[in-house]
Amino acid sequence: MNSRQYCVFGNPIKQSRSPWIHQQFASQLNINIDYQARLAPEDGFADAFKSFVAAGGEGANVTAPFKEQAWQLCDSLSTTAKASGAVNTLYLERDKLCGDNTDGFGLVADLHRQQVQLIDAKILLLGAGGAARGVIPALLSENPKSLTIANRTASKAHNLQNHFSDSRILACGFDELQAGSFDVIINATSAGLAQQRPDVSSSIIGANTICYDMVYQAKPTGFMTWCHDHGASQCIDGLGMLVGQAAKSFSIWFGTMPDIDPVIEELRRLLIQGK
Ligand code: NDP
């Protein structure tokens, strides 16, 4: 039987764990897939996706920097994708290209997995790029008390506030963050990829603050270590989010939700072994 073709598009993409993760899900559910990581030129995502479909591709994940371009390419969008303005999951339905965004599901599922309380929480989201945009609808649907978006470039945080137009959203630059701690701080910047951390005051961390870094690596990230050193009660990395968003994409394509926990455990083990 021919395998069903899926892939992830990004630039860069070599580092992607998505092929391995989707292969684990496919093995769990006895589905025969061929899932590849595909590098698309920065100005050539639409053509790359069309060639993939012409060669039999049925669906794809999309990562930086193509999530907004994928959004624009779609004929039909899920409610979450429509609200977030970014698509990370593409699939075909009666020749129409459909888009969804599963990043928010992945983040919230991981926060629930770690028993983080979001109802009535004061949440701080650092960053205003594609990842931040993608998770805002899911965070709002958890009924937080407030969601503050802070970004290095303050205008982009204000743009997101205007886009979502929800009275619980506040927006500011890093230097305008008021002293006083948050319940949950989520780092959705890409600063960690350059071995940096968002330049924010440690006064945002209190004894009960839980910090989440969307980036993950074998050891705690620089942001997690900084939060821990300034008294955060719990620091979590983005590995569970990565597996969770992939699982939701897989369920959109194949109609069945795979088991997330064993895949998180195995991926953590591989990371620690440097594989
Ligand atoms: P974008 O390029 O769209 O946005 C980057 C964001 O990071 C912007 O807000 C930018 O601020 C900020 N930033 C970059 N460098 C710095 C710095 N040195 N100091 C402070 N802020 C900085 O990227 P994405 O939103 O797509 O991705 C963000 C991160 O989230 C990435 O590291 C990505 O790997 C991770 N991610 C993890 C996922 C997971 O499943 N675990 C899923 C999706 C993303 P400015 O506007 O000022 O430039």
Question: Is the Cβ atom of 200 under 6 angstroms away from ligand 1?
Answer: no
Q: Copy the structure tokens of residue 102.
A: 């599963």
The verdict on 119 and 67 lying in the same domain is no
Q: What atom of ligand 1 comes closest to residue 238's alpha carbon?
A: 41
What is the reported pLDDT for 126?
98
The verdict on 88 and 188 lying in the same domain is no
What is the 70 CA–ligand 1 centroid distance (Å)?
18
Question: Is the Cβ atom of 160 under 6 angstroms away from ligand 1?
Answer: no
By annotation, the residues acting in catalysis are 67
Q: Copy the structure tokens of residue 185.
A: 């701080």
- The pLDDT profile of the chain, 275 residues, written as one tens digit per residue, is 689 999 999 999 999 999 999 999 999 999 999 999 999 999 999 999 999 999 999 999 999 999 999 999 999 999 999 998 999 999 999 989 999 999 999 999 999 999 999 999 999 999 999 899 999 999 999 999 999 999 999 999 999 999 999 999 999 999 999 878 899 999 999 998 888 999 999 999 999 999 999 999 999 999 999 999 999 999 999 999 999 999 999 999 999 999 999 999 999 999 999 98
Question: Whose CA is closest to 242, among 6, 81, 20?
Answer: 20
119: domain CATH number? 3.40.50.720
What is the reported pLDDT for 106?
98
Ligand 1 pocket, mutate which of 190, 214, 263 (most atoms under 8 A from CB): 190
CA distances to 10, 15, 47, 53, 187 from 150, rounded to whole Å, are 26, 28, 35, 38, 10
Q: Copy the structure tokens of residue 275.
A: 């594989």
What is the 129 CA–ligand 1 centroid distance (Å)?
6
What is the 121 CA–ligand 1 centroid distance (Å)?
23
DSSP letter for each residue of 175-214: GGPPSS--SEEEE-SSGGGGT------GGG--TT-EEEES
The verdict on 114 and 192 lying in the same domain is yes
What is the reported pLDDT for 1?
66
Domain total for the chain? 2
What is the 5 CA–ligand 1 centroid distance (Å)?
29
Nearest protein Cα to ligand 1, atom 12: 189
Task: Compute the C-alpha angle 99/55/244, nearest 5°.
Answer: 35
Q: What atom of ligand 1 comes closest to residue 152's alpha carbon?
A: 47
The verdict on 200 and 247 lying in the same domain is no
What is the 189 CA–ligand 1 centroid distance (Å)?
3
What is the reported pLDDT for 156?
97
The verdict on 246 and 192 lying in the same domain is no
The verdict on 142 and 164 lying in the same domain is yes
The verdict on 163 and 79 lying in the same domain is no
The residue segments making up the domain with residue 53 are 4-101+240-272
What is the reported pLDDT for 193?
82
Nearest protein Cα to ligand 1, atom 1: 129
CA distances to 6, 174, 189, 213 from 177, rounded to whole Å, are 42, 6, 16, 18
The verdict on 37 and 121 lying in the same domain is no
Question: Is the Cβ atom of 131 under 6 angstroms away from ligand 1?
Answer: yes
Cβ pair 34, 4 in contact under 8 A: yes
The verdict on 63 and 147 lying in the same domain is no
Tokens 């928010």 found at: 104
State the maximum Cα–Cα separation within the chain, in Å, rounded to a whole number.
Answer: 60
Q: Copy the structure tokens of residue 8.
A: 């992830």
Question: Is the Cβ atom of 198 under 6 angstroms away from ligand 1?
Answer: yes
Element (H, E) at 98: strand 96-100
| Rg of the chain in Å (alpha carbons) | 18
Cβ pair 107, 239 in contact under 8 A: no
